[in-house]
Chains A and B, each alone.
Chain A
Amino acid sequence: MPAEKADRPELAQALEALTGRFAASVLSGAVDRGELAVRLTKDALVPVLRFLKDEAGFNAFEDLVVFDELNASLGGGARFTVIYRLYMFPGALRARLTVGVGEGESLPSAVPCYRSADWAEREAFDMFGIRFEGRPDLRRIYMPDDFDGHPLRKDFPLAGRTRGL
């Protein structure tokens, strides 16, 4: 069983600085399971990423995960939850930013801050239909360019929509 990293002081420091600087946009923040976990509004996304990269030392962008909260959103709440995972090397610390975004809404692009977010954003667009502002050339990456629909959405059928070829 992988040993959880004991809560490190850097994480607590970063959390404090973050909540201090971006008080209005940070909806919740904690050091949870050895990671810095922050939930914020989407307008603060890029400034917070910049802060974490330049000042808190999270120099690597690990992953961008999108969840389709179709059922939860029926009772109000954003359709998609997007998680940005950051990593600090050296130091082996993780940060997790959670942003909610509705259907048809767009997120500011993380690419000016972390170049490795490029294809991850294209994948999120392709699979879920989330648009990203502030980056050139947002295109599908897996599906053909003229494909209709976003396959990983919960309301997209597993077997696809086309009947035969």
Chain B
Amino acid sequence: MAFREIDLNMGPQHPSTHGVLRLKLSVDNEVVLRVEPVLGYLHRGMEKLWESLTYAQVVPLTDRLDYLASLSNNLAYCLAVEKLAGIEVPKRAQYIRVALVELQRLASHLAWAGFMANDIGAMSVLLYGFEAREDILDIFEEYCGARLTVHGVRIGGVIRDVDATLVSRIRAVLERIPHRLEDIRALLDENRIWKERTVGVGRIAAGDAIDYGLTGPPLRASGVAWDMRKDIPYSSYDDFDFDVPLGANGDVYDRYFVRLEEICQSIRIVGQALDGLPEGDFKAKVPRVLKIPPGEAFHTIESPKGVLGFTVRSDGTDKPERVKMKSPSFINLQSLEHMCRGNLFSDVIGILGSLDIVLGEIDK
């Protein structure tokens, strides 16, 4: 053991690694020199598995990737398949998809806010965030029977139509969430201790962020206005009016701020989607056994974690030849070392939390 440099291990079992992630840290008297994430503890061989399933059978497995935002995974995959097969999704289905995915974004960000605050010591925020999230999970349960691995978006559309009761329930929930958000903001936004632990910590500049492939809220916190919903709109996102919150410094506080603002924007989008719900089918006519002529397509969406993409390659049979997932958490985690270098190792927890990673997505 070198005199000043110590190797520390944040094992796969740790309350704050948000999953089974191992971090090998090298510290010099409390200052972090190197951070090396060790992955693979949750590797389930998804991509290999998908090659042996039909296109429709793959969809429920995508739930298990980013399990805190399962509808986003469904959507990304289904959009890639629809692009490949040339399936036109009806407008009504697109609007329902937007409403579902934005509700999912709300749920994901509320869970993230709770976990991040809990890691830094503000235990009550965890419970407040989850209380708000419960309402949303109840809606998912009513819609398609599952709370977490929702599988509500299918190839060609969504699983079923929304009726007036569900719409009014969603609206009631949207009324309640801003109050919980107020509680969380009152506890944290201007709190001296919170700011001391987050402002200026884990900074990454815009240029470095893009070079490291960072996407999603961490990138927007560095001031880069890259949001796939605006850049390459999908599923009728260009019909909706919303802002993309940006940060200025690229530190942990800005990432926290950006995500809370995104919660407010998502509430707006869901409201607009429900208001303007057009008539039509909730699903396109897709053959029961979907065979796609040889080709390849790549489609990205803006998931709560970042830019999520699927490459789907078909060979004429009913099973995909290859499905490759571009995982935002996987790529975001690469920049952890850059962000942690020079900070104290007590900050590693906060920085890791601010990246909002999900191991299911990283390890596939």
Chain A residues with a Cβ under 8 A of chain B: 1-3, 5, 59-63, 65-68, 83, 85, 89-90, 92, 96, 114-120, 127, 140-144, 151-152, 156, 158
Contact = CB atoms under 8 A, between A and B. Distances in A.
A106 to B, nearest CB: 21
Interface stretch (B13-21, B177-185, B225-233): B225-233
B210 A60 contact: yes
Interface string B327-361: 00011011000000000000000000000000000
B331 A119 contact: yes
B347 to A, nearest CB: 22
Interface size class for chain B?
A: 35 or more
Q: Which of B51, B213, B235 has the most CB of A within 10 A?
A: B213
Given A60-B211, A62-B213, A85-B298, 10 more contacts: A2-B299, A3-B233, A5-B232, A60-B213, A85-B326, A89-B224, A116-B213, A140-B40, A141-B39, A151-B48
B257 interface: no
Q: Which of A2, A61, A117, A144 has the most CB of B within 10 A?
A: A2
B82 interface: yes
Given A2-B234, A142-B43, A65 B210 contact: no
A152 B324 CA distance: 11
B309 A143 contact: no
Nearest to A127: B47
A73 to B, nearest CB: 14
B324 A2 contact: no
Contacts of A63: 298, 309, 311, 324, 326
A144 B298 CA distance: 30
Contacts of A158: 48-49, 51-52
B243 interface: no
A63 B87 CA distance: 25
Contacts of B298: 63, 65, 85, 96
A140 B40 CA distance: 9
Contacts of B224: 89
Nearest to B332: A116
